[in-house]
Structure 1
Amino acid sequence: MVSPPPQSVTRFAIDSQHLLRVGVDPVDKCVSLVRVAHSQAHLLYACPLTSAAVRKKLGRRTEIAPEKRRNATLRWTPKSHFKTGDVRFKYVFTIMTNQEERVVLITKSKSVTSTVLVVERQVDNNNDRNEKNEYIAGGEHSGIVISKIGNYDVENETPADTSVQFCVFLVNGQTGLHTKEMRTIRFWCNRDEKVDASAVASQFFQDLVSPDQFPLDYVGFVKRMLTLMHKGYKCLSRLEIELKQLEKTSIKPVHQVPVESSTTNSDITRTKLRELIESSYPNPLTIDDIYKKRGWDHADIKDNLDILQQSGIVKPVDGGGYTRVVLHDKIVEQIPIIQTNRQPTVAIITAEYCEKVAVDALIENKETFVRYTTVGESNVYTIGKMGNHSVVCTKLPALGLSRQATIASGNAITRLLGTFQKVEHVFVCGAGGGVPHYTNYDKHVKLGDVVVSHYGNKQKAVYTYCENVLNENGNITFHCRQYSPKTFDIQIAAMKLQTEVKSIDNTRPLWDVYLSEGLNKIEKQKTDGESDFNRPPADSDKLQMFIGGGTELIEITHPISDSQKNKDLGTRIHVGPIGGGQSAVSNESTRKKFATEYKLLAMDSEFDSVMGSLMGNYCHSYAVVRGISDYKDGSLKNDWQPYASLAAASVIKAILSIIKI
């Protein structure tokens, strides 16, 4: 084996412009030009030094591929490693790219209202350092450099892999005016690393806007980005940050999803009273019951009940209670025996009144039976047809963490499946909270979309309920119960619907047809003061986040598909895991971690007793179907909740059009 010549004789290096110089081998009197691309060295030119051609090329430089612009060490490669004719000497040089890196901040452009910054990884080439043109950080920030030169070479710039855009609201301490500033972050990943750019960018953004760590000042924001690039995200080669000031206003931005106030001592309104009676349906509420729940004055309660009764929205029942008026319902002491050919094979469970209204609107030839009780829980069942399937829809009397609510929900499911023993498929239908994706349109779950539960994590659980959250020195641990059916007929049908829509352009989805059908029926039966099931305007879907310990607000732009810009896509189907549990979803940062750890697409509140009862009653085919009404758990009363409920019901009817029993 031939020993390599000493490295001291080499003059092979990368200069400050990232160009490769000629390498000279004085031992064999040979010269070579080597280019690096895709982690390999490519021989551009090699021949004896005495050649006239080489003497002309001596000193000529060739550019290195951008992803390999690094300082290089050298090693010698035997001639036998190259093909015949490639070299005419014993050794050639090969680039070894294992040098230290640094993160450099460069100002790309600047104007009165906008600034564009670039954060780029570069090789820490000691020979290239120029302290006159750079601020070089030390200590724990060693490796971060700020360029003093305000220019950036934009030639041959490749398009960004992905981007995220959001707005912050800057406050002038003297005038109190709020300036809306749009911030756009563009991401470039290393070409030689196979990574999901949208996933990396989304995680980077979530780390950047962490509520407890997001800086409220400009310098802190830039420093935070430099630190994230320096400490991690090695797969990112470059960031571009554009900061553009928009309009000024004296009005402070308002969160679209307000924190729910206490359930007591708020002023009474007819809408609040109606919603309370609807949430309790089919259980009636007395004036004393309402007083205990809300603390309203007895006289005010009675006056508002009289107005709602005159409007045909509520009605009195035996025992001094009031309940919701439902068209064509039949009050019975016992649920009548259903003929064999009408026995339901599909059960649909709802928790909110608007959810049951949405499902009932899509049931044909329906009958509603209500069994009121003064002791225990009342029951309501609507029986009819959805397509070729006989279905029964019920509304749970109560949900929550209390022992009473847990027992009531579990008993309602047991009673449902005991009464209708031919049920084979069960849907838990209603509104839920979406888990947004900040950079990938296909993974983004927004308001009005529908999520059908399916497994998507290692545990193969379609539904994960968080029973408790432990936080030990910042290390959060979730204690969960997970549920999954034995058969996946519902999930397979949902994926088929999803696939068909993606593969056929300009085709109206089947669930959209049913949604319009249900909306028309609801509008014909609707009275004044009832919920509006129409789709709210698009600008009411604001993706917002609290930062700075919950005191400030940012507004994030929804990701958009390039091929579907300027199109009103309406409701989309997503198929994946759903989770719930107040201990996990009530706090924003905990909710995000819960969603990330279990790969959730949607969340709801307290449905553990429902899922447990389904498992306990040996129900082998079920799915949770959530129409997205907010970015929490779907429990907030807003304009999206009725529409989201109808969207979920429409998807269920579309699924039933595929499933054969």
Structure 2
Amino acid sequence: MEGSIKKQKRKLTHDAYTVGWVCVLHSELNASRAMLDEEHEQLESDRKDDNSYLLGQMGKHNVVTVFPGLGTYGTNTITQTVSNLLWTFPNIRFGLMVGVGGGVPRPPHPQDPRQNIRLGDVVVSDPKGKNGGVLQYDMGKWRDSRKFEIESHLNKPPKILLQAIQLLQSDHDFGEGEMKHYIREVAEKSNILPAFKAYRFPGRDQDLLFKADYRHFDGGDCSACDVQLTEKRLDRESDDPEVHYGIIASGNAVMRSAQHRDELRDAWNVSCFEMEAAGLMDSFPCIIIRGICDYSDNHKNKIWQPYSAVVAAAYAKDLLRVI
């Protein structure tokens, strides 16, 4: 309202922040900011720390969001970013790596469409056996057979997060989570903030899973691709996102090959591909949360990125609610 007084932000100390939230893309930063219940005043950083931070409160937690900046991707960059974060904010208890990733589809489920990963769903890193939940798929050795053998021994998330995930799963099973509410709140922002129109649900007609052997037709989107060569999947009763728990594959290159995607899926039971998590797991006690914005093939576009960033952030905020 014109003439109203802007509310002054609270200023806390570096020691007051206990949750580190890591993101990379502009849409991921906006999604994080949209989840804050209260935004705090910026604090000065050490001259050796070139990170940018967003400070605020979510529920009971004081959260510091760190973002390395536009055009910076990969496991090595994020390692330095997190090192600076932990130096500047010494009381960080655990971290959340929140953003978008490429889904790894499986053959369509014959009965329950909720089992299949769809665009706009969420994948959360989940330890399986000796695997800590994140697989660095570009780290390994070439054997005499000219076959690349992955060697991945990354740490598991801290116990506090693993326990919280189980509790949140139970909440969601009983329909008691707040994730859908948080997503709706961001959608309502689009009525007053034009930039947030892109963060709305794009529509299931924009969710196309092409057969693995069908390559993308030249062009920015898939308007020229043959929809007759998409996988036939059962419709869900709701467009609300499903949450999947599994292995997240991380590396320094974008996964654009459906064939390679499926090979790693079958060999390692991978559910998602992304580019930063492997740089965190051994130095930052955290969980990886990815909103699915494509199918890790060459039919990529950015239509789903903003919405998928929101659903990942909504899950992260719901996870903080139960901690």
TM-score tier, shorter chain, comes to 0.7 to 0.9
Q: State the superposition RMSD in angstroms.
A: 3.7
Q: Is the aligned partner of 1:630 residue 2:300?
A: no
Change (3 A) 1:486 1:470: closer
Quote the offset at 1:587 in angstroms.
2.6
| Map of 1:84 onto structure 2 | none
CA deviation profile, 1:269-317 (whole Å, cap 9, x unmatched)? xxxxxxxxxxxxxxxxxxxxxxxxxxxxxxxxxxxxxxxxxxxxxxxxx
> Offset of 1:591 from its aligned partner?
1.7
Which letter maps to 2:232? Answer: T
TM-superposed deviation, 1:361: 0.6
State the one-letter code of the partner of 2:158: T
- Spell out, residue by residue over 1:450-501, the C-alpha distance to the aligned partner (whole angstroms, 9 max, x if none): 1111112x32321011225778899743434342335232233233333333
Q: What displacement does 1:446 show?
A: 0.9
> Do the aligned residues in 2 keep the contact of 1:450 with 1:626 (CA within 8 Å)?
yes
Q: After the TM superposition, which residues 263-282 of structure 1 pair with which residues of structure 2 at under 5 Å, given as runs?
A: none
2:62: which partner in 1?
A: 390
Once the two structures are TM-superposed, the CA of residue 582 in structure 1 deviates from its matched residue by: 4.7
**Counterpart Cα distance in 2 of 1:337 and 1:509:** 30
Higher mean C-alpha deviation, range 585-594 or range 550-559: 550-559
CA 1:594–1:469: 2 relative to 1, 3 Å: farther
Q: Work out whether residues 468 and 584 of structure 1, in 8 Å CA contact, stay in contact via their aligned partners in 2.
A: no
Aligned to 2:247: 577
Q: State yes or no: 1:605 paired with 2:275.
A: yes
Contact 1:431 1:644 in 2 (8 A): yes
Classify 1:582/1:522 alpha carbon distance in 2 versus 1 (closer, same or farther; 3 Å): same
5 Å-filtered alignment, 1:389-408, equals 389-397=61-69, 398-400=71-73, 406=76, 408=77
CA distance in 2, matches of 1:583, 1:471: 18
- 1:514 is aligned to 182
Residue 592 (1) aligns with residue 262 (2): yes
CA distance in 2, matches of 1:349, 1:579: 17
* Alignment check: 8 A CA contact 1:350 1:430 kept: yes
- Residues 516-531 of structure 1: pairs in structure 2 closer than 5 A: 516-521=184-189, 523-527=191-195
The question of 1:348 aligning with 2:21 is answered: yes
Q: Deviations over 1:96-117 (max 9, x none)?
A: xxxxxxxxxxxxxxxxxxxxxx
How far 1:624 sits from its partner (Å)? 0.4
Structure 1 residue 519: Cα displacement: 2.9
For the residues of structure 1 that align with 2:232 and 2:118, how far apart are their CA atoms? 11
TM-score by length of 1: 0.41
Query: For residue 479 of structure 1, what is the aligned residue in structure 2?
Result: 150
Identify the match of residue 126 of structure 2 among 454, 467, 470: 454
Indicate conservation of the 8 Å contact 1:363/1:384, yes or no.
yes
Equivalent of residue 232 in structure 2, options 526, 536, 557: 557
Does the 8 Å contact 2:78/2:276 carry over to 1?
no
Q: Which letter maps to 1:355? A: E
The 8 Å contact of residues 142 and 148 in structure 2, kept in 1 or not, is answered as yes
Normalising by structure 2, report the TM-score.
0.80
Q: 1:516 to 1:569 in 2, by over 3 A?
A: same
Do the aligned partners of residues 482 and 518 (structure 1) sit closer, same or farther apart at CA in structure 2, a change above 3 Å counting?
A: farther
Count of residues in Structure 1 that have an aligned counterpart in Structure 2: 305
Q: Cα deviation per residue 1:362-412 (whole Å; 9 max; x = unaligned)?
A: 112213639899x998432111111111111111225346xxx83x43221
Give 3-state SS (helix, strand or coil) of 1:519's partner.
helix
The one-letter code of the counterpart of 1:436 is P
Paired residue for 1:436? 105
In the superposition, relative to structure 1, how do residues 606 and 460 fare at CA in structure 2: closer, same or farther (>3 Å)? closer
Could you say if the C-alpha distance between residues 519 and 639 of structure 1 is closer, same or farther in structure 2, counting changes exceeding 3 Å? same
Gaps of 5+ in 1: 1-326, 331-335
Question: 1:364 aligned to 2:37?
Answer: yes
Matched, 1:615 2:289: no
Residue aligning to 1:532: 198
Q: 2:298, 2:313 → 1: CA distance?
A: 15
Alignment check: 8 A CA contact 2:136 2:152 kept? yes
Cα gap change, 1:489/1:377 in structure 2, threshold over 3 Å: closer, same or farther? closer
2:249 pairs with 1:568: no
Aligned counterpart, 1:650: 314
- For the residue of structure 1 that corresponds to 2:210, the secondary structure is strand
Q: Is the 8 A contact 1:367 1:383 kept in 2?
A: yes
Aligned in 2, Cα 1:415/1:350: closer, same or farther, shift over 3 Å?
A: same
Amino acid in structure 2 at the alignment position of 1:578: I
SS of equivalent to 1:412: helix
Seen in structure 2, the aligned counterparts of structure 1 residues 371 and 390 have a Cα distance that, compared at 3 Å, is: closer
Task: Report which of the two has the higher share of strand.
Answer: 1
Give the 3-state SS of the residue equivalent to 1:518 in structure 2.
Answer: helix
Cα drift, residue 421 of structure 1: 1.0
Q: 1:473 to 1:487 in 2, by over 3 A?
A: closer
- Counterparts of 2:133 and 2:67, CA distance in 1: 22
Residue deviations 1:534-554 (CA, integer Å, cap 9, x gap): 001111101112427888962
Distance across 1 between alignment mates of 2:56 and 2:312: 18
Q: Show the 5 A alignment for 1:236-275.
A: none
Change in CA separation of 1:484 and 1:472 when aligned onto 2, cut-off 3 Å: closer
Q: Aligned-pair distance for 1:634?
A: 11
| Paired amino acid for 2:314 | S
Q: Distance in 1 between matches of 2:152 and 2:119?
A: 27
Whole-Å separation in 2 of the counterparts to 1:647 and 1:641 = 10
Work out the CA distance in 2 between the residues paired with 1:497 and 1:486: 16
CA distance in 1: counterparts of 2:145 and 2:191, whole angstroms:
50
CA drift of 1:607 comes to 3.9
TM-aligned CA distance change 1:482 to 1:579, over 3 Å: farther
Separation (CA, whole Å) in 2 of partners of 1:357 and 1:635: 25
Q: Is 2:92 the counterpart of 1:423? A: yes
How far the C-alpha of 1:630 sits from its partner, in A, is: 0.5
Amino acid across the alignment from 2:188: N
2: distance between equivalents of 1:608 and 1:436? 21
Q: Secondary structure at the match of 2:282?
A: helix
Task: Write the distance in 2 (CA, Å) between the matches of 1:465 and 1:381.
Answer: 27
Q: Percent identity?
A: 20
What are the within-5 Å matches in structure 2 for residues 140-179 of structure 1? none
Q: Distance in 1 between matches of 2:163 and 2:298?
A: 25
Aligned equivalents of 2:150, 2:72: Cα separation in 1: 21
Inter-partner Cα distance in structure 1 for 2:31 and 2:253:
29
The reply on whether 1:338 has 2:2 as its aligned counterpart is no
**How far off its partner does 1:649 sit?**
0.4
SS at match of 1:652: helix
Distance 1:578 1:516 in 2: 27
Please tell me whether the aligned partners of residues 431 and 634 of structure 1 are also in contact (alpha carbons under 8 angstroms).
Answer: no
Distance 1:656-1:461 versus aligned 2 partners, 3 A rule: same
Q: Which amino acid aligns with 1:410?
A: T
